[in-house]
Amino acid sequence: MKKLMILCTLLWTTFSLSAQDTATVKKVQYPKGFSEQLNVVYTKVNGWEGKLDLYLPPTGGAASPLVINIHGGGWNKGTKESQGGFSPFFKKGYAVANIEYRLTAAATAPAAIEDTRCALIYLISHAKTLNIDVSKIVIMGASAGGHLALMGGLMENDHLFDGNCKGIENIKVAAIIDKYGITDVWDWGYGKLKTSKSATSWLGAKAEDTDFAKSVSPLYQVKKSSPPVFIVHGDADPIVPYEQSVALKAKLDEMGVKNEFITVKGGLHGKFPAEEHAMVNAKIMEFLKGLGL
């Protein structure tokens, strides 16, 4: 009886751990005719392999628009496998690239930006093989992923963070979708509204270097040539202050960059009511449609 109890305990523990593991993995559902390429290596840095998952429309037609998705988690946690909700893009014939990047424990700033840029460069350089339209690339992320989407797109042909992936010019995305992303890293770490340990940890040895913090902050990368930006943020966000998106909106307007800013009244950090989520998704697709995407 004692052995049986031990066996049952072990089986239950294994089941529980398996349930916890699978709970964080979202199997991406895509339409019939689409194909998947999982864990494609887009870069290698000091033994670390950067991987992305690709979901591609049926071959044989015109080159597809592409959305690059970047997970959040304060640069210190999160996985590409936790991501989903790509159905609106699949319905419009988009290919999807869901990427991972080095987290703070593996490498501090600007590593995550470097990886984002490498993923973008990889996809541009392999566009012909993947049947991707390089003039219709959208980069999207939430929270820290929103920050990385902004940096990946706003850097354009500034190769400051492209040292690991050289050789591609004319890097241009058609649009950026920023969901409650960090726009001023220094302010997130030391500001009056928030003092985030995630920010100072990610800055690492440069945690007191204001110039470096600016160099990795989207707010300071906006210029007249910047791609159109869609912003959504809840005005009750307790993690990333709503004011960060307000400041980005003001900068985009100052530079004459096309943008749309959606405020979710009472919205927390991505925890929006179902009807608000549906509204945001519809607004995103309308924004892209207006850009010819």
pLDDT greater than 80 at residue 162: yes
The tens digit of pLDDT for each residue in 231-267 reads 999 999 999 999 999 999 999 999 999 999 999 999 9
Across the chain, mean pLDDT equals: 91
Bridge partners of 171, per DSSP, are none
Tokens of 140: 């999207």
Question: What φ, ψ does residue 50 adopt, rounded to 5°?
Answer: -85, 125
pLDDT greater than 90 at residue 47: yes
Percent pLDDT > 70 in the chain is: 92
DSSP track, the chain = -HHHHHHHHHHHHHHHHHHHHHHT--PPP--TT-EEEEEEEEEEETTEEEEEEEEEPPTTSSPEEEEEEE--STTTS--GGG----HHHHHTT-EEEEE----TTT--TTHHHHHHHHHHHHHHHTHHHHTEEEEEEEEEEETHHHHHHHHHHHTTT--TT-TTS--------SEEEEES--S-HHHHHH-SS---HHHHHHHGGGTT-HHHHHHT-GGGT--TTPPPEEEEEETT-SSS-HHHHHHHHHHHHHTT--EEEEEETT--SS---HHHHHHHHHHHHHHHHHTT-
pLDDT greater than 80 at residue 3: no
The model's confidence at residue 7, banded by pLDDT at 50, 70 and 90, is very low
The tens digit of pLDDT for each residue in 194-227 reads 999 999 999 999 999 999 999 999 999 999 999 9
The pLDDT value recorded for residue 25 is: 75
The model's confidence at residue 24, banded by pLDDT at 50, 70 and 90, is low
- As a whole number, mean pLDDT of residues 266-272 equals 92
The pLDDT value recorded for residue 242 is: 98
Tokens of 69: 């998705």
- As a whole number, mean pLDDT of residues 155-163 equals 95
The model's confidence at residue 9, banded by pLDDT at 50, 70 and 90, is very low
Higher pLDDT pick, 15 / 75: 75
- As a whole number, mean pLDDT of residues 54-71 equals 94
Residue 92, number of CB atoms within 10 A of its CB: 15
The tens digit of pLDDT for each residue in 115-143 reads 999 999 999 999 999 999 999 999 999 99
3-state secondary structure 180-247: CCCCCHHHHHHCCCCCCHHHHHHHHHHCCCHHHHHHCCHHHCCCCCCCCEEEEEECCCCCCCHHHHHH
pTM: 0.90
The pLDDT value recorded for residue 8 is: 39
Percent pLDDT > 90 in the chain is: 85
Question: What φ, ψ does residue 261 adopt, rounded to 5°?
Answer: -120, 115
Higher pLDDT pick, 102 / 84: 102
pLDDT greater than 90 at residue 19: no
Tokens of 135: 């003039």
